[in-house]
Amino acid sequence: MAEAIKTDSVTIPTPGELFTALGKPAKPDWASRYRGPIAMNYKTRTQIALNLGGLIADGFIAVEAQDTQQVKNIGGDIVKLAKALGVSENILARGNSINQFAGNDEWSALQEELEATQNEVKASMQSHRDQDLVILVSLGGWIRGTDVVSGVVAKNYDERLGQILRQPELLRFIRSKIGQISPELQNDPLIKSVNNQLASIERIVATPFGQSLSAAEVSKLNDSVSQVMKEIQKKDQ
């Protein structure tokens, strides 16, 4: 399968898929997984891109919680951060759709709309020659999603839940995409630090196919991704 096509938009799952896998067996209290508001005025485009991905994951959490107001709040923040990156005006229409779907309790449509919003942002980045930032949006979403899920699994561990977090090839793919971005961005202190930490995270989630992560591995994963998450959302990098 070495010749397989791997793309950002198909090969990287959405946070919604990860939350669906957790939701069935664990029935988490999603609202308890909210975090406080994040800054809207980061200085670098790399940090904005990473946080935009994290916000989209927050949107999926609010959808799981079926929390209309939280979805609307996050939708507004997504539009603000996307505008800070100078992406197209289409994102405004997406923001309006998110509000409408939330107002009508269209939770399934909202999951699709959140991903479509993310893809709209990425398409706009590509047309503005910001393609290096695309993988950072996906990465931000993966980190925030894994932060939440590993936290829930660590507290309620069983082997079935530990199986959800096994994803070595996904990490390998994300890291290979980071390896392709411009040397200038790779030298960005935040990217350098996140990439270094991803190397050790990849080792944690790399159990053989069919084998779950142990309780200790899940805790270690949660500590690691929480640390990366804090670094990403910290103001004044």
Partner 1 sequence: MGRCLNFCLTSMLALALGASALAETDEEVAARQVALELAGAFSNDGFKLRDGHWTGTLARGESKVIAVNLYAGNEYWFSAGATDKAKKLTLAVFDETGAPVTGEKFNSGTKAATGVLVDNSGEYFIRVRLEEGEPAGVCFLYSYK
Binding site for partner 1 (CB under 8 A): 1, 3-14, 16-18, 20-21, 24-25, 90, 93-94, 97, 100-101, 104, 106, 108-109, 111-113, 115-116, 118-120, 123, 127, 160, 163-170, 173, 209-210
Distance CA(127)–CA(122), nearest Å, equals 9
Within 13 A of 178's CA, how many CA atoms are on the CB side?
Answer: 26
Q: Is 73 helix (H, G, I), strand (E, B) or coil?
A: helix
Shortest spacing between CB 4 and partner 1, in angstroms: 4
Q: Which residues lie below 8 Å from residue 29, measured CB to CB, with a gap of 6+?
A: none
Shortest spacing between CB 64 and partner 1, in angstroms: 12
Distance CA(233)–CA(231), nearest Å, equals 6
Shortest spacing between CB 13 and partner 1, in angstroms: 5
Rg (CA), the chain: 17
Shortest spacing between CB 14 and partner 1, in angstroms: 7
- The answer to whether 233 and 39 have CB atoms below 8 angstroms apart is yes
For residues 26 and 38, which CB has a smaller minimum distance to partner 1 in the complex? 26
For residues 92 and 216, which CB has a smaller minimum distance to partner 1 in the complex? 92
For residues 36 and 208, which CB has a smaller minimum distance to partner 1 in the complex? 208
For residues 47 and 124, which CB has a smaller minimum distance to partner 1 in the complex? 124
Shortest spacing between CB 204 and partner 1, in angstroms: 14
CB atoms within 10 A of CB 101: 22
For residues 37 and 209, which CB has a smaller minimum distance to partner 1 in the complex? 209
CB atoms within 10 A of CB 132: 21
